[in-house]
Structure 1
Amino acid sequence: MSEVMDRLTSFITRTQFNDLPEDVIHETKRVLLDSIGCALPGHAVERGKIAIGFAKKLGGSSGTTRSTIIGTKDKVCPANAAFADGELINTLDFDALSRAGLHDTPTVISAPLTQAEAVGASGKDLILATALAFEISGRIKLAAPGGYAASPEQGGKILFPEVGGNSPATLGGAAGAGKLLKLNQGKMGFAIAIAGYICPPNTLEQVGHSVRPVRMTKYTPPGWGAHTAVSSAMLADMGYTGDTSLFDGDFGFWRYTGALKGQWNTEKVVDGLGKSWFVQINYKQYPAGLCIAGALDKFIQIIGENDIRPEEIEHVTLQPHPRVQFHGEAKLVTHDDYSFNPVYLLTCAAHRLAPTDWHEEHVRQDVKIQKYMRWLTPKVSIAPWDEIEKDFALAKLEDPRTYQQRCEVVAKGKTFRGVARHPKGGWWAEDLRNTDEELVKKFVGNASKVLSSDKVNKAAQTIMQLEKLGNTAELLNILAP
């Protein structure tokens, strides 16, 4: 076992619930609440239905080690439940992102959740395993910086990564599942190593440049990441071995997941372990890409503060993230097309619809909504890409943590402008972080589409007091209709 893997696995296996800082415990409960809430309305969407059906078809429902698919009474083996849960959480694109900028939450949440129920773990055990899963995922991701950095030498240019994605989430999920299986240090190293060899590839960048319609795979199917994570931990528990020099050498994990030579810093995987934690979450306010969230924040603020009615809008210019292509006039074919269509998102916002209703079938097919979209389409434009990139880059030179976006609305004979340095719900801007009350409200809006009001309230209370829960299975029972 390499030195880095030795230090990493030693930390995972020796850390106990009482070692977690209070803010880490609290944030872990918040992201569990948000993620489970996002999974529940996924049942009504084709991708969610397929995920549940596929998990059941794979089987594994015999024996005592079974896990419940979120929002059902169906029990399957933990890996198959993790697949379904991971897909459900991500189906509406309403799920949170981690500090590392990863779409890792569906994988990192699902692997420990399903394993916790299978072994009869307590709420404290689940919190600990989930916090560790986020920790490992985030550290591995940031050891190979692939973010959207600005180039001081080129002024208004962004240094885009050639490859990006969520592969580290699978390794984090394996660590979390392994913690619940009580793997010793040697087997924990094997679990992470196995996950590193069979994790999904980093395909995030392809989505930003691919044509519509948006397919269900999107930036990587998180269900497979979660399935792989649980499988890796179970295999290690049974004695299957893996390459624990995974992070070392010229052909290590960094290379086959897309980092450039010279970028990977192995020491970042273990630097400050137990002192600084990575459970720092960016919560989404809308079932849409974070790449347009800041612009939507400002659009909603502008029309609200100035009492602009939908029919009074003359023109909207959006300045989203510079890496993503938006197809405002493209035909909406798949469910995911709506998440990336600025006209549809603006239409929902202009009509003051609750974001938890944006992906309801009756909303998407509403004659009034469809008519308004046709009327609004020629009135919406995306700022020139060179301007977007320059503005984004200059903001990052000033503060590398920014995710700057803009929105301009022409209405009532006036022009209104707004600049979002960070999207609401993001971690880095303290004044924009979601309160517990806001996250509970989002959870209620999502969960009420599947559960009774009594169950919704009981589920929210149980998750926010998760450390008091004796057996995780109790929570899954509450979440079943």
Structure 2
Amino acid sequence: MSQTLVERLAEFSSRSGFAALPDDVVEECKRILLDSLGCALAAVAEPGARKAIEFASLLGGASGDATLIGTADKVSIFGAAFANADLVNALDMDAVVPPGHVTPYVVPGALAVAEAGHRPGKDLIAALAVAHEMSYRIGKATDYLRDIKDGEVTIPPVYGYSSTVFGATAAVAMVKGLSEETLAHALGIAASTAPVNAMRAWMMHTPSTTIKYMLAGTLPQTALTAAHLAEFGHRGDLRILDDAEFGWPRFIGTTRWEPERITADLGSDWKFVTEQAYKPYPHCRILHAPLDALREIVETHDLAPEEIDSIKTWGEPFVQQPVWLNRTIAEPRDAEFSIAHGLAVGAHRVPPGRDWLDPELVHSRSVLELMEKVSYEPHADYVSAISGHPAARPSRVEVTARGKTFVGERSYPKGVPSPDPATRMTTEDLVAKFRHNADGVLPESNVAAVVDAVLGLEAVADVSTLMDCVRPPR
């Protein structure tokens, strides 16, 4: 009998130890981890993240084996994975790769298990590589927010990031050292218990739930549950990805299922690194290219917010949805997606980071008044540009001030791998972002230790020593 798709993914995971990884994959995984830890540190005071930290204590008490990033506390692996997922995603400045947000769902479970199990850094790198590659490939096999049909961008009727449950589960199972057979059953269990894809409801109901497009902590919790139940002997559905009529493709809601994208050159061609992107701004990435152009205009011409009469913007067409057009900012998480609010904040020349979501700035009269002067329209060249390169985000910004109109344009936002080398965030850029995010949360000695440990992760004998550095002193 031929292998099922689940069994093929389990085989790929089992054969993808550190020694099998290309150098660029190893480096990208270290960059992803550094960025994720920084995003979590920046979010420790964010209201939603504080709720996740409180909830973590219910999942394992006030002592345990896994660190709550940015706090002095350790809890159970389930508690740490839940809270750390929300911390990484709280400010919406975490790394992105198709199908969208992947990192906050696949990193925390593997990280918690690696810390609790005192696993070497090489094991964590291999787990993160498999998690991102698997998530990318399954994302490419299913519906995508930027799919083009009949010359137009189409939004699928059901969408979300539940497909990352496979990568998240594989990562946990790899760190735990489960056998290939057990790992396959873990993937089958994960598929049957994955969270629903509720993102479209969040898009349409505004101001919507503060858990955003997905409650981040549920993904690593599902992965941890699946891996442990398989280890205890539960059997998973090994055919769940092969059955398009009744299996995962059907009940998860995708209208497109191209499984050949999952298996093509699996294990020999690592694809996720070609589209792995990073976010310099704590805002939905749809606005990053316009923000690049706007901030250049404001800084070049030394414009003050009160001098601006209007900000006209052209960008991605599919975001003509309530969550992005929203101008009712009930709390900071609403501001992470509002186009008008994001541009208004961007014009205030505040360094990107947690300060962008400070309630005093978010609700300031200056920002709220300026956002009423913002307009947004689809860019006419969007479809042709993205058809030519997946990172393309053609954008135009016109700022009217002092009786003049200042114009800025971008083809690609900062943070993406593109034909323009300047758009890629270098490791030096990511270190600077990490330092800014960690400032005021960790002492400088810890900050330096984290950077050194992550960038040399393959030499770290015990991941728990790294995690000790993301805990501020009591």
TM-score by length of 2: 0.92
Contact 2:132-2:272 at 8 Å conserved across structures: yes
Shift of 1:415: 2.1
CA distance in 1, matches of 2:337, 2:31: 26
Q: Does 1:349 align with 2:346?
A: yes
Contact 1:208-1:323 at 8 Å conserved across structures: no
| Correspondence for 1:422 | 412
| Correspondence for 1:53 | 54
Q: Does 1:37 align with 2:38?
A: yes
Shift of 1:41: 2.3
Q: Are residues 448 and 142 of structure 1, via their aligned partners in 2, closer, same or farther at CA, if it must alter by over 3 Å?
A: same
Q: Are residues 53 and 297 of structure 1, via their aligned partners in 2, closer, same or farther at CA, if it must alter by over 3 Å?
A: same
Q: Number of paired residues?
A: 464
Q: Does 1:242 align with 2:236?
A: yes
CA distance in 2, matches of 1:272, 1:101: 19
Q: Are residues 340 and 6 of structure 1, via their aligned partners in 2, closer, same or farther at CA, if it must alter by over 3 Å?
A: closer
CA distance in 1, matches of 2:441, 2:13: 36
The amino acid of 1:346's aligned partner reads: L
Q: Are residues 362 and 464 of structure 1, via their aligned partners in 2, closer, same or farther at CA, if it must alter by over 3 Å?
A: farther
CA distance in 2, matches of 1:299, 1:362: 22
Q: Does 1:264 align with 2:260?
A: no
| Correspondence for 1:305 | 300
Shift of 1:413: 2.6
| Correspondence for 1:171 | 166
Name the SS for the 2:101 alignment partner: coil
| Correspondence for 1:333 | 330
Q: Are residues 447 and 232 of structure 1, via their aligned partners in 2, closer, same or farther at CA, if it must alter by over 3 Å?
A: same
- Which of 117, 128, 153 in structure 2 is aligned with 1:158? 153
Name the SS for the 2:318 alignment partner: coil
- Which of 96, 100, 103 in structure 2 is aligned with 1:102? 100
Identity %: 34
The amino acid of 2:470's aligned partner reads: L
- Alpha carbon RMSD of aligned pairs, Å? 2.1
| Correspondence for 1:283 | 278
Q: Are residues 327 and 269 of structure 1, via their aligned partners in 2, closer, same or farther at CA, if it must alter by over 3 Å?
A: closer
Q: Are residues 402 and 360 of structure 1, via their aligned partners in 2, closer, same or farther at CA, if it must alter by over 3 Å?
A: same
The amino acid of 2:235's aligned partner reads: T
CA distance in 2, matches of 1:422, 1:145: 23
Spell out, residue by residue over 1:337-381, the C-alpha distance to the aligned partner (whole angstroms, 9 max, x if none).
12123444334322321111212345446xxxx232243233211
The amino acid of 2:47's aligned partner reads: E
CA distance in 1, matches of 2:379, 2:403: 29
Matches within 5 A, 1:374-389: 374-383=368-377, 388=378
Q: Does 1:394 align with 2:394?
A: no
The amino acid of 1:53's aligned partner reads: E
Q: Does 1:468 align with 2:459?
A: yes
Name the SS for the 1:451 alignment partner: coil
| Correspondence for 1:129 | 127
Shift of 1:22: 0.7
CA distance in 1, matches of 2:72, 2:133: 31
Range 175-184 or range 320-329, more displaced: 320-329
Shift of 1:458: 1.4
CA distance in 1, matches of 2:376, 2:258: 37
Q: Are residues 32 and 202 of structure 1, via their aligned partners in 2, closer, same or farther at CA, if it must alter by over 3 Å?
A: same
Q: Are residues 205 and 404 of structure 1, via their aligned partners in 2, closer, same or farther at CA, if it must alter by over 3 Å?
A: farther
| Correspondence for 1:221 | 215
Name the SS for the 1:248 alignment partner: coil
Contact 1:215-1:336 at 8 Å conserved across structures: no
- Which of 440, 451, 459 in structure 1 is aligned with 2:442? 451
Q: Are residues 358 and 75 of structure 1, via their aligned partners in 2, closer, same or farther at CA, if it must alter by over 3 Å?
A: same
- Which of 453, 456, 477 in structure 1 is aligned with 2:468? 477
Spell out, residue by residue over 1:91-114, the C-alpha distance to the aligned partner (whole angstroms, 9 max, x if none).
11111111x142111011111101
Name the SS for the 1:348 alignment partner: helix
Contact 1:440-1:460 at 8 Å conserved across structures: yes
Spell out, residue by residue over 1:298-336, the C-alpha distance to the aligned partner (whole angstroms, 9 max, x if none).
111222233333333221012243233366773321221
Contact 2:31-2:455 at 8 Å conserved across structures: yes
The amino acid of 1:241's aligned partner reads: R
- For structure 1, list consecutive stretches of 5 or more residues without a partner in the other structure: none
Contact 1:150-1:396 at 8 Å conserved across structures: no
CA distance in 1, matches of 2:372, 2:162: 39
CA distance in 2, matches of 1:56, 1:336: 23
Q: Are residues 308 and 60 of structure 1, via their aligned partners in 2, closer, same or farther at CA, if it must alter by over 3 Å?
A: closer
Q: Are residues 258 and 427 of structure 1, via their aligned partners in 2, closer, same or farther at CA, if it must alter by over 3 Å?
A: farther
The amino acid of 2:281's aligned partner reads: Y
The amino acid of 2:76's aligned partner reads: C
- For structure 2, list consecutive stretches of 5 or more residues without a partner in the other structure: none
CA distance in 1, matches of 2:414, 2:311: 20
TM-score by length of 1: 0.91
Contact 2:345-2:367 at 8 Å conserved across structures: no
| Correspondence for 2:15 | 14
| Correspondence for 1:88 | 87
The amino acid of 2:331's aligned partner reads: T
CA distance in 2, matches of 1:327, 1:202: 19
Name the SS for the 1:355 alignment partner: coil
